[in-house]
Amino acid sequence: MGKRFDPGVQFGVVIVGAGPAGLVLGNLLLEQGIDCVILERREREAVEGRARAGFLAAHSVRVLTEHGLGAGLAARGRVHRTCLFRSGRGEFTLDYGQLGRGEVHTVYPQQELVRDLLAEYLRRGGEIRFGTEVEEVTEGRVRVRGGADVTGRYVAGCDGHRGAARAALAARGTRTARWDHGVTWLAVLVQAPPSLSAVGYALHERGFAGHMARTESVTRYYLQCPRGNDPADWSEDRIWAELATRMRTAEFGPLKEGSVLEKTVVDLRSDVLERPGTGRLWLAGDAAGLISPSAAKGANLAVLQAERLARALIRALGRDDDGGLTRYASDCLPRVWRAHEFSHWMSNLLHGPTAGDAEARYGRALQYARLDSLRTSRTHQDFFAENYTGI
Ligand SMILES: Cc1cc2nc3c(=O)[nH]c(=O)nc-3n(C[C@H](O)[C@H](O)[C@H](O)COP(=O)(O)OP(=O)(O)OC[C@H]3O[C@@H](n4cnc5c(N)ncnc54)[C@H](O)[C@@H]3O)c2cc1C
């Protein structure tokens, strides 16, 4: 793909991973004439077909648009501005587009964004190698399984949470702050139109259920389930029955059902590297920190970090000034931690205890107190909206 791969060439930047972080970074580097190569473990079809995120924050849309990467989302993305909470005490809707800073989400499936980013990267003359697994990352050099080493002035680790770049930083003593939310979701993608015009969060004694639009014919649902559950234990009938109970369809009306396209189990865990790089190795996206999906922040942090890292690398390679790389860490980390704080708060709001003892009754009462505050306090609603859409 792109120019012929020559093992002797030193690139400006070797990018590991073709997810949102790696592809945004690659496009921004090419825009400024910085040569780079992306090494991706999976084949192109798998990269372009991986359904995950869908909610893009206003900041992400701005970055993508400013750098000529927003045509697809402008044409096919849908503005989303409301979310709905359901519980044993009824339901209420927040029009967050009218609250806080008045910002909204754009719903655009991650796999479509990845397809757009890849097409534009290739159009800009970028080089990418699919089916290329990086085994080890050292300063300015990566070792590829079954192939020659690839070298660059810098290596950008955008290879996700379990990638080689993070392992390399950890081996050099970079510490990680980590939290297990103790919650697991069955994440389901169904061939059916959205059932609600809003994002739906349902609080229930049997566990949380969530509804998120993706396209006009595909919807994502979440069901809190016990840790260690096998997706195979969840038949279509069981999924729809459990969604109906938790989303209280007897009270609020039926869901639009369809066949299940995909079901996976996600343990809600979060972590942040205390420093996203050093010397000639810098990380962005899930490689630099994993955030639980409870507030839909992961892909948005990936775009933020890729943009900041691109700026710093362009400066380092163009002006021989690596001060921007040092600032990359101090610039991103406070924003990353705000996103984590909000995500953590959302997780506490959505997941109450499911047992029935005195502690569980206390925990559930706190959950309802949080929800009630959000329902009745304009100040709380503004705070929610600012953090829900912001990055
Ligand atoms: C069910 C679910 C729903 C989500 N919903 C949302 C949402 O609505 N909004 C949101 O903002 N976020 C959401 N997220 C999070 C979001 O999908 C991730 O944060 C995002 O994909 C991170 O992008 P990335 O580029 O850092 O990593 P990834 O997308 O994981 O990309 C990393 C790439 O690196 C490649 N790779 C890995 N190891 C190697 C190696 N050794 N060598 C070469 N290549 C390698 C991988 O194959 C992959 O293509 C969700 C996540 C899940 C699981």
| DSSP tag of 301 | H
What is the pLDDT at residue 105?
Answer: 97
Could you read off the pLDDT of 271-311 as tens digits, one per residue? 999 999 999 999 999 999 999 999 999 999 999 999 999 99
For residue 7, the model assigns a pLDDT of 60
At residue 138, the pLDDT reads: 87
Using DSSP bridges, classify how beta strands 134-138 and 82-87 pair: parallel, antiparallel or unpaired.
Answer: unpaired
Confidence of residue 161 (pLDDT cuts 50, 70, 90): very high
Do the domain assignments include residue 311? Answer: yes
Q: Is the CB of 263 under 6 A from ligand 1?
A: no
Q: What is the DSSP string of 49-80?
A: T-----EE-HHHHHHHHHTT--HHHHHH-EEE
Tell me: pLDDT of 267 over 70: yes
pLDDT bin (cut points 50, 70, 90) of residue 323 is very high
- Summarize the confidence of residues 339-343 as an average pLDDT: 97
The per-residue pLDDT for 139 is 80
Give the tens place of pLDDT for each residue, 345-366. 999 999 988 777 899 999 999 9
Q: Which atom of ligand 1 is nearest to the CA of 110?
A: 17
44-61, pLDDT tens digit by residue?
A: 999 999 988 899 999 999
With respect to residue 70, please indicate whether it lies within any of the assigned structural domains. yes
| Residue 163 Cβ contacting ligand 1 at under 6 Å | yes
Q: Has 80 been annotated as catalytic?
A: yes
Please say if 362 is a catalytic residue.
no
Domain-embedded: residue 154: yes
By most ligand atoms within 8 Å of CB, the mutation choice from 159, 181, 309, 332 for ligand 1 is 159
Locate the ligand 1 atom nearest the alpha carbon of residue 264 and give its number: 1
Which pLDDT tens digit goes with each residue over 4-34?
Answer: 455 666 999 999 999 999 999 999 999 999 9
Quick check: is 222 catalytic?
A: no
Query: In this prediction, what percent of the chain has a pLDDT beyond 90?
Result: 92
**36 is a domain residue:** yes
* pLDDT at residue 79 in the model: 96
Tell me if residue 293 is catalytic.
yes
Cα dihedral 337, 182, 292, 248 in deg (nearest 10): -120
In a domain, 5, yes or no: no
Q: What is the rounded CA–CA span in Å between residue 235 and residue 240?
A: 9
Sort 30 into a burial class: Cβ within 10 Å, 0-12 / 13-18 / 19+: buried
The answer to whether residue 279 is domain-embedded is yes
Is residue 388 pLDDT above 80, yes or no?
A: yes
Domain count for the chain, please give it: 1
Q: What percent of the chain has pLDDT over 70?
A: 98
According to the model, what pLDDT value does residue 6 have?
A: 57
Pick the catalytic residue from 293, 328, 344, 351: 293
pLDDT score of 2: 38
Q: Does 179 have pLDDT greater than 50? A: yes
Q: Is residue 336 part of a domain?
A: yes
Across residues 175-198, what is the average pLDDT? 97
What is the arithmetic mean of pLDDT over 320-344?
94
Could you tell me the CATH number of the domain that includes residue 162?
3.50.50.60
8-state DSSP, 217: S
> What does the pLDDT read at residue 3?
40
Question: Is the CB of residue 381 below 6 angstroms from any atom belonging to ligand 1?
Answer: no
Q: Is residue 223 part of a domain?
A: no
Q: What is the pLDDT of residues 69-109, one digit of tens each?
A: 999 999 999 999 999 999 999 999 999 999 999 999 999 99
Whether 297 is catalytic? yes
- Which range marks the domain in which residue 301 is found? 10-80+100-178+270-345
Question: Model confidence over 120-159: pLDDT tens digits?
Answer: 999 999 999 999 999 999 888 999 999 899 999 999 999 9
- For the beta sheet containing 289-290, the strands, ordered from the edge strand earlier in sequence to the opposite edge, are 90-95, 82-87, 199-202, 209-213, 219-225, 176-191, 259-273, 289-290
Long-range contacts of 78-81 (CB under 8 A, 24+ apart): 78/106, 78/107, 78/108, 78/213, 79/104, 79/105, 79/106, 79/107, 80/55, 80/104, 80/105, 80/106, 80/107, 80/198, 80/199, 80/213, 81/105
